Homo-oligomer: A and B are copies of this chain.
Amino acid sequence: MTAERVHAPFGRRAATVLAREQHGAYVVVRCEDPAGPRPQAGQFYMLSAAERWGGGEDERPFLPRAFSVLRAPAAGRELHFLIEDVGPGTRRLCELAPGDQLQLVGPLGIGWAPPRRDRTPVLVGGGVGIAPLAILQDQLDKPHTTLLGFRDGAHAAGAALLRNARVATDDGSTGHSGLVTELLRETLREDSQVEVYACGPPAMLEAVRSLCERTGTPGQLALESGMACGFGACFGCVVATREGYVRLCVDGPVLDAARLSTALTPGAGH
């Protein structure tokens, strides 16, 4: 598993959409990125549609949008993204059809740190936050546990994108009825020699963070915040850490849980 930030080629480049697959409430967009390197798991890309990026709700989108890479098969040049339609930018991306062009910048940010030798990785994902866990699974070469939480059955369809996942749904339609963090609590109770890799909505990440803190479990959290640029230019994406504000796009999006006193980042979206 790559331990280091992979540099992005400088500038924005075009990538052709190869496929658009619906997975319940999510869309997977696969594209071909001939000019880019293979990303580190947990890194992200800034995406926009090459055509008609704008003219949606409130005359938006205008800026590119950040997306974790879902998968980047080592062979070939494909990049996969998992997208949930939550506003004008994601809506436009969800509409892309094979042959359409994306504009992308990336891979950006610092992804997951490789697992510690003496601990079992537990991957915890919530909603569209499962994306960076799929590529993590692909690159992890040791046994691990995967716990995924979703709102309902339509969203739980996303679980099929990962291997051997235990699923929880808020409405009980699939798997455990309740929060994924309940599954995590159970796992931590059974095995204290684990470490956590988590990505999901702020409330879930905060629950994970506080569980890690209370149990002394090492954890890495992939956070979200509103981003304009993705490469440290705008200073817009800061989250508060114990050392002060850090730019999530260059110092994250994966942060060591111990650096945070809360994962409840304002304006993160959802």
Interface residues of A (CB under 8 A from B): 51-56, 59, 61-62, 92
Contact = CB atoms under 8 A, between A and B. Distances in A.
Given A52-B52, A52-B54, 7 more contacts: A51-B55, A52-B92, A53-B55, A54-B54, A54-B55, A55-B55, A55-B56
A59 B62 contact: yes
**How many copies altogether?**
2
**Top 3 A-B pairs, shortest CB-CB distance:** A54-B55, A55-B55, A52-B55
A59 B54 contact: yes
Which of A53, A55, A61, A92 has the largest count of B CB atoms less than 10 A from its CB? A55
Contacts of A55: 51-56, 61
A169 to B, nearest CB: 32
A88 to B, nearest CB: 9
Contacts of A51: 55
A53 to B, nearest CB: 5
13 contacts: A51-B55, A52-B52, A52-B54, A52-B55, A52-B92, A53-B55, A54-B54, A54-B55, A54-B56, A54-B59, A55-B55, A55-B56, A59-B62
Contacts of A62: 59
A52 B59 contact: no
A189 to B, nearest CB: 50
A55 B55 CA distance: 5
A55 B61 CA distance: 8
A255 B171 CA distance: 66
Contacts of A54: 52, 54-56, 59
A237 B61 CA distance: 30
Contacts of A92: 52
Contact of A56 (B52, B56, B59, B61): B52
Which of A54, A59, A92 has the largest count of B CB atoms less than 10 A from its CB? A54
A87 to B, nearest CB: 14
A167 to B, nearest CB: 34
A251 B56 CA distance: 34
A52 B55 CA distance: 4
Contacts of A52: 52, 54-56, 92
A53 B92 CA distance: 12
